[in-house]
Amino acid sequence: MRPSRPRDRHRSIAVAAIFLIAALGLSTPPAIAQDDEIRYLAYLAAREDTASIAGPLSGEIIQDDQFSVTAGAGITTKDFSTTATFTNPANETGTPWDVGFTFHQTAGAAQQIAFDSDGFWYYTPVPVGTLQSGVVPAFAATPGGTNTINLIVDGDSALFGINGELVTRIVLPPAVASDVLIGSGYFSTTSVTGRTIAYADFEVWPLPNVPETEATATPEPAVVAAETPAISAADTELFNAILATQAEVTPLAGPFNANLTEEEGRIGLSWANVDLRDFHARAVFGVPEPASDVPWSVGFMFRIGPQGSVRVAVDSLGNWFASAGSGGPAAAGQGTGIITEAGGANTIDLIVANERAVLGVNEELVATIDLATETGAADIAAGAGFYSDQTLPDRVTPFREFVVLPFDPDAVSATVDAGTTVTAAVAAEAFAEYAAESAQVAPFAGPFAGRLVEATPGAVPLAAARVSLADFAAVATFINPNDVATKLWDAGFEFRADSAVTNRIVVGSTGEVFALIPGQSPQIVGTATAYDPAPGARNQFQLFVRGDIALFGVNGDYVAAIALPAAPFASDVQVGTGFFAEDFVPDRVTAYEGFSIWQML
């Protein structure tokens, strides 16, 4: 067992046209088809007549909150079938746990598939970050419970299952031979140092010959969830402000009142007779009748693209979904707070602008959803019975006050200071103003220069400014090491840090900018196009932190605004390197100069 790669650096978009809420843009994985299920079961059955090439192995994984921790099978292979049974941690800590597989591993990359105790699975290749995720249909979540996970890797395809049930099929990049490993702590939010997760029956088989089967689509779409960020107080405040503003806007269509009757294989729809790409739709949906154990779903259909109309819906189980055409959900989440009691009603708001949809339920912000760029204007409908497993023929859902309102996609963007809402362009303008002001004023501390030496795996070399500030401007120039053309490297700032909370903004050697924010997995918040990746090149990083927002840029160019959900507090500000374990190179030296701090009042 050994420390392995850092947690996933989730890709997110920090500044959107509607408002600045970090969100993960995911590609749509293939829906589970009957041929996938048949092949998956055939591979499992073939193990009975095939000698394994490793295992069965058993042991314990002891988590480390600085790394994911893995245990290998001690083999080298491209294609394989593997299984392992994990025992859930016995003690509840309040921190979720995860377990999974790592494979096709090289010095700078690896494939990772895992699931967590919140009931989601993730495909998280290193160093790219999470590309796909979804809901786990059934698993044992209780302390001390066990879950058996299976993975079949055949060339560029992986079948992943939990407790004998196929969960998803994943398209992989070209295979490379490596060890097959089990692991835990793939995310910073699912790791507690010293927490033990026992495993047993970890075994690997070569792939047998399994006959091809005829592909037939499943009538019930696989649920695939885009991982969405936590909703902050600032997000909620801004959403409420939008609703208040929209309440004064004259509808383009409606209000309409009608009933939606469910039919097998058909969504019940009522159209607004408009042709819009950006809009705000709102309707009050009654709880359908008759009452049944079959879940129900309500929502909206809008826009048109190559896969068909876009749908966003919520169901009676407390989930939300986004999909296109007849395919399975491309994004999903939980926690809608939907009312299900007979006679009740739910107000659904959907705001669509540019490539983003914002979903509210009962005037509470639920999710922001990335939309495909190739979708165009279309009519908008209120609907019921969006998925075949949530349809009951002749069930009736009443709705009222269905309206479609105009919405300006550039009207509101982000909260930069308390009580100030701005567009992304204004955030960039604020960055430029801060940069100009700091260039004309003597710094509060610095300028400092020095060397950062990567000495100990898992330890980030830092240099402090010896200040104690919550709001500040920081500038530092980092000199690229000589090996950045062949090895990964990173550098950046640490601020508002104590024993419980640490905020970091980091630039990788490819120019990607990462935010390491408390309570969130690492996120790519932008790419610094002005960054010079050449060995020995100098790059100036600029960070302006005020209230709950950080503005960041490289070489004078604005890159991103990052929301800071933790309450502001004063601490030192430090420069560092080697923030990610995969970027560590023993004894490598990174020089910095011009490290200066200004106090922001």
Q: Which of 405, 438, 468 is the last residue of a domain?
A: 405
Q: Which of 405, 426, 454 is the last residue of a domain?
A: 405
For range 249-254, the mean pLDDT = 89
Same domain, 59 and 175: yes
Closest CA to 352 of 411, 397, 398, 294: 411
Looking at residue 5, what is its pLDDT? Answer: 32
Residue 292 identity (one-letter amino acid): S
Q: How far apart are alpha carbons 360 and 375 in whole angstroms?
A: 22
Residue 217 identity (one-letter amino acid): A
Looking at residue 151, what is its pLDDT? Answer: 94
Give first-to-last CA distance, the chain, whole Å. Answer: 49
pLDDT at residue 416 greater than cutoff 50: no
Looking at residue 210, what is its pLDDT? Answer: 52
Same domain, 449 and 563: yes
Highest mean pLDDT, choosing among 17-21, 93-97, 393-397, 454-458: 393-397
Same domain, 477 and 550: yes
Same domain, 347 and 463: no
pLDDT digits (tens, 9 = 90+) for 253-271: 989 998 888 887 778 888 8
pLDDT at residue 121 greater than cutoff 80: yes
Confidence class of residue 14 from pLDDT cuts 50, 70 and 90?
very low
Looking at residue 23, what is its pLDDT? Answer: 28
pLDDT at residue 221 greater than cutoff 70: no
pTM for the model stands at 0.38
CATH code (residue 6): 2.60.120.560
Contact indicator for 591, 584 with CB cutoff of 8 Å:
no
For range 314-343, the mean pLDDT = 80
Range of the domain at 593: 416-599
Q: How far apart are alpha carbons 477 and 448 in whole angstroms?
A: 10
Mean pLDDT of all residues belonging to the chain: 80
Same domain, 426 and 328: no
Same domain, 540 and 589: yes
Looking at residue 542, what is its pLDDT? Answer: 96
Same domain, 396 and 474: no
Same domain, 401 and 420: no
pLDDT digits (tens, 9 = 90+) for 312-325: 999 888 888 888 77
Same domain, 400 and 256: yes
Same domain, 195 and 293: no
Confidence class of residue 6 from pLDDT cuts 50, 70 and 90?
very low
Looking at residue 212, what is its pLDDT? Answer: 43
CA 326 to chain CA centroid, Å, is 24
Please count the structural domains in the chain: 3
pLDDT digits (tens, 9 = 90+) for 484-506: 878 888 999 999 998 888 999 99
Looking at residue 35, what is its pLDDT? Answer: 55
Residue 567 tokens, joined:
């309450």
Confidence class of residue 82 from pLDDT cuts 50, 70 and 90?
very high
Q: Which of 380, 405, 430 is the last residue of a domain?
A: 405
pLDDT digits (tens, 9 = 90+) for 31-65: 444 456 777 888 888 888 888 999 899 999 988 87
Query: Where do we find the tokens 């295979």?
Result: 175
Helices (H) and strands (E) in the chain, counts: 3, 40
